[in-house]
A = this chain, B = another copy of it.
Amino acid sequence: MDTMGRHVIAELWGCPEDKLNDLHSIERIMVNAALEAGAEVREVAFHKFAPQGVSGVVIISESHLTIHSFPEHGYASIDVYTCGDRIDPNVACDYITKALGATRLESIQVPRGVGPIHVQDVKVRAL
């Protein structure tokens, strides 16, 4: 398998607090984001923190999606990393951004497995 991959690092702000504190909803959103992008889901692990916040990962055949939510700050930290060029990580990221009701997205894309690391596609979007 080729090592080439694309890793989107996204910061979502302005998400409603209740959405960021709902483990089952977040798990469903992350799995659906993977499927929406055409990825194959392999493992799913989510954890709810006390008093608040959710962390989770979806391992896909093509790498992974992760989330860490901070409900009290309306903030969710998202990573979508896809190996190969069949799956576009931005499709999953856009799905998550919309589903979590973010009002602001900052993201960068980092090519993986292709030599010196550099940053592409810096985006800041009000939504």
Q: Which residues of A contact B (CB under 8 A)?
A: 1, 3, 5, 7, 9, 11, 42-47, 49, 53, 55-57, 59, 61, 63-64, 66, 68, 70, 72-73, 75, 77, 79, 81, 83, 106-108, 110, 112-113, 115-117, 119, 122, 124
Given contacts A7-B9, A47-B59, A63-B68, contact A108 B117 (CB under 8 A): yes
Give Cα distance in the complex from A27 to B14, angstroms: 36
Number of copies of this kind of chain in the complex: 2
A59 in contact with B45 (CB, 8 Å): yes
Give Cα distance in the complex from A11 to B117, angstroms: 8
Given contacts A9-B110, A59-B55, A70-B113, contact A3 B75 (CB under 8 A): yes
